Amino acid sequence: MDYTFSSNKQVNSTLNLVVQSIAELAEEQLRHIKQLTHIGQSLSSETDLDKIFEMILDEGIAFTKSDGATIYRVSDDNNALEFQLVYNATLNMRQGGSHDPIAWPPVALYDENGNPRKSNIVSAVYHSKQSLWFDDVYKAEGYDISGTLKSDRNSGYRCKAMLTIPLKDHEDTVLGVIQFINPLDDSGEIISFTEEHRTMLSSLSSQAAIALSNRKLIASLEDLLMQFMRSIAGAIEKKSKYSSDHITRVALLTDMIAERINTATEGAFADIHFSENELKEISMAGWMHDIGKIITPEFVMDKSCKLERIMDGFNLVKSRVAHIKTLFKYLSLKMKDTEFQEFAHKVLACNDQDPIVFLDEATEFIKELNIGGEFVPDDTIARMEALAAIDFEYEGERYFILDETDRKNLSIRRGTLNSDELKVMRAHVSVTWDMLSQLSFPKKYANVAFYAATHHEALNGSGYPKGLDAPRLPLQSRMIAVADIFEALTAADRPYKTPKTLSESLKIMAFMAKNGHLDKDLVDFFMDSHLYLDFAQDHMREEQIDEVDIPALKSIYHLG
């Protein structure tokens, strides 16, 4: 659109050209402002640092028409500048970020004696925290440009104008360096970087520094969260006098299952792929699955035998039996033989057996029953009840072998915990939920509490604490359940149980899959992928690792 400024056509044409140039310049400036705004908005939503850096690099190149650019990032040990992105239009090269990886060695920031390297341009910018620019870098006095010269000779390129800017955070710490080379004019000729260029690129560098600082802050906070979780897990394990590593091993095995599923190319999990955030979420849940045990009393966690209380109750039993034996030795001397036998049969129900032998056998029987096992048969319980019924007085003194608490504890069919103690132990899962559900996890880790608190649920709805069934139990919960059960079966550091072999453990898990407790597909995967063996070779005793017949185990829950 032409405007009429003068009746003189030449003046009017000139003024229109000026207006058009100003309008184009304003439009160009507006585009850059919008792009800067867009980059700023992306910082609050984009978590992929590579994409943010590529946006910043592209905008800097577009504004200056630079032929090349590089972004460096300070290494984790603060000893070098690592190449993050490299671009050169003439050489048709773009590496790093979402493109081909950069194989170039990092730029050292210190020499072999630990002194700052200030002869290199990018390392000098790092140490001085000030920008450097050259109209012709070949004439840069006081700087070692041998690397640039060598690169140019090898590629046939000519690096001339250069602008190098530090990426500084709000604490004036240099997080990286951004470098642009050879800005071009409209005809494609190399020009110098203008003041406007330096101002604009400094603004972009600030944006990059914010992105890098935020990413490092988020990463450090997530690292702190994981360290805190592992610290809590370690504290819970040390709470037990047996220093069990159960939580650590379950977390490790859960991670192994998740990572192995990610590499599956066939079977039930071929289409499952956990993202990096999902893997972290699963790992957190694995570490936190037993956090509720922080409130479980030590006498329950450490109960190594059925009669254990504050002290080992079996010692009380032995002292009571010894007291009765002393009485019978005295009576054997005081009474006639028939009178003694009648008394022994009446109070001990030992028939014609010698009462001392009977009491010794009873002590040995109680000693064996006191050890937690997989299952106690009815006849064993009946014999224990008969011993518990022995309760008599002689000359005003009471004699007995088992009190009511002993009888209750020795009636335990599986393990070492009675019904009341089992409720206390099982409460740790509800406490896990109560504790973790109150924490404000980042949205990407929102399921940590649920996964951690459902590892004792069963697909058939028979688990605890809520009796959730298969439709309400995601794969992540099922994975922790498998890891928890396998570790518990094979653990060799539990004082109340004998560690099982691989074949015994997998057979129990096969029946649990048959009964609808465990996920059949997951148990299949656990065995087919040899995860059980990988874990066993690092965490089980050599004598536990026996031959396993996988087809036979699978037939337990697939054919019946």
Per the structure, the count of domains in the chain is 3
DSSP letter for each residue of 188-213: S-B-PPPHHHHHHHHHHHHHHHHHHH
196 alpha-carbon distance from chain centroid: 48
Token duo for residue 254: 């859960």
Enumerate the β-bridge partners of residue 190: 184
The domain boundary, picked from 399, 416, 433, lies at: 416
Residue 408 lies in a domain: yes
Q: Does one domain contain both 160 and 208?
A: yes
SS3 450: helix
The confidence score (pLDDT) of residue 228 equals 83
CA-wise closest residue to 474 among 423, 522, 537: 522
How far apart CA 328 and CA 394 sit, in angstroms, is: 11
SS3 416: coil
The confidence score (pLDDT) of residue 293 equals 80
The torsion angle over the Cα atoms of residues 114, 119, 123 and 127, rounded to 10 degrees, is 70
Considering Cα of 24, then 29, then 33, then 39, what sign does the dihedral take? positive
Residue 105 makes CB contacts below 8 A (sequence gap 6+) with none
Enumerate the β-bridge partners of residue 393: 398
The confidence score (pLDDT) of residue 21 equals 67
Looking at residue 169, what DSSP letter applies?
A: -
Q: Does one domain contain both 321 and 289?
A: no
Query: Contact, 133 vs 166, CB < 8 A?
Result: no
Residue 297 makes CB contacts below 8 A (sequence gap 6+) with 424
Residue 2 lies in a domain: no
Residue 55 lies in a domain: yes
Q: Does one domain contain both 40 and 104?
A: yes
How far apart CA 363 and CA 418 sit, in angstroms, is: 21
The confidence score (pLDDT) of residue 45 equals 55
Q: Does one domain contain both 114 and 170?
A: yes
Amino acid at 507: K
Residue 81 makes CB contacts below 8 A (sequence gap 6+) with 72, 73, 74, 75, 106, 107, 109, 122, 123, 126, 176, 177
Longest Cα separation, the chain: 151
Q: Does one domain contain both 176 and 83?
A: yes
The confidence score (pLDDT) of residue 447 equals 94
Report the relative pairing of strands 66-74 and 80-88 from DSSP bridges.
antiparallel
Q: Does one domain contain both 401 and 448?
A: no
DSSP letter for each residue of 255-307: HHHHHHHHT--SSTTTT----HHHHHHHHHHHHHTTGGGGGS-HHHHT--BTT
The domain boundary, picked from 369, 398, 416, lies at: 416
How far apart CA 557 and CA 510 sit, in angstroms, is: 6
**Phi, psi at 73, each rounded to 5°:** -130, 135
Domain that holds residue 186: 18-217
The confidence score (pLDDT) of residue 243 equals 47
**Phi, psi at 392, each rounded to 5°:** -145, 165
Q: Does one domain contain both 249 and 317?
A: no
Q: Does one domain contain both 470 and 550?
A: yes
Residue 306 lies in a domain: no
Token duo for residue 180: 């642009």
Cis preceding linkage at 355, omega within 30: no
Q: Does one domain contain both 374 and 506?
A: no
Q: Does one domain contain both 271 and 369?
A: no
Residue 99 lies in a domain: yes
CA distances (Å), origin 540, targets 160, 495, 511, 546: 64, 16, 22, 11
CATH number for the domain spanning 283: value is 1.10.3210.10
Residue 32 lies in a domain: yes
The domain boundary, picked from 185, 217, 249, lies at: 217
The confidence score (pLDDT) of residue 184 equals 93
Q: Does one domain contain both 532 and 554?
A: yes
- Mean pLDDT, the chain cut into blocks of 10 residues (560 residues total): 64 68 63 59 60 81 90 91 93 86 91 92 95 94 90 92 90 90 92 88 80 76 82 76 74 96 93 94 92 70 62 81 91 89 89 90 89 79 91 91 88 74 73 86 90 93 91 96 92 69 92 93 95 92 91 87
Strand locations in 25-113 (E): 66-74, 80-88, 93-96, 107-108
Residue with tokens 């988020």: 218
How far apart CA 294 and CA 403 sit, in angstroms, is: 31
CA distances (Å), origin 218, targets 210, 214, 232: 12, 6, 21
Report the relative pairing of strands 93-96 and 80-88 from DSSP bridges.
antiparallel
**CB atoms < 10 A from the CB of 366, how many?**
24
Residue 259 lies in a domain: yes
Residue 294 lies in a domain: yes
Looking at the chain, the number of H-run helices and the number of E-run strands are 20, 9
10 alpha-carbon distance from chain centroid: 75
The confidence score (pLDDT) of residue 63 equals 82
Q: Does one domain contain both 56 and 179?
A: yes
How far apart CA 270 and CA 514 sit, in angstroms, is: 23
pTM score, whole prediction: 0.62
With left for phi above 0 and alpha for psi between -120 and 50, is residue 396 left, alpha or beta?
left
As a residue count, the chain comes to 560
Residue with tokens 């300070």: 74
CATH number for the domain spanning 106: value is 3.30.450.40
How far apart CA 543 and CA 497 sit, in angstroms, is: 16
How far apart CA 510 and CA 97 sit, in angstroms, is: 46
SS3 44: helix
Query: Contact, 412 vs 313, CB < 8 A?
Result: no
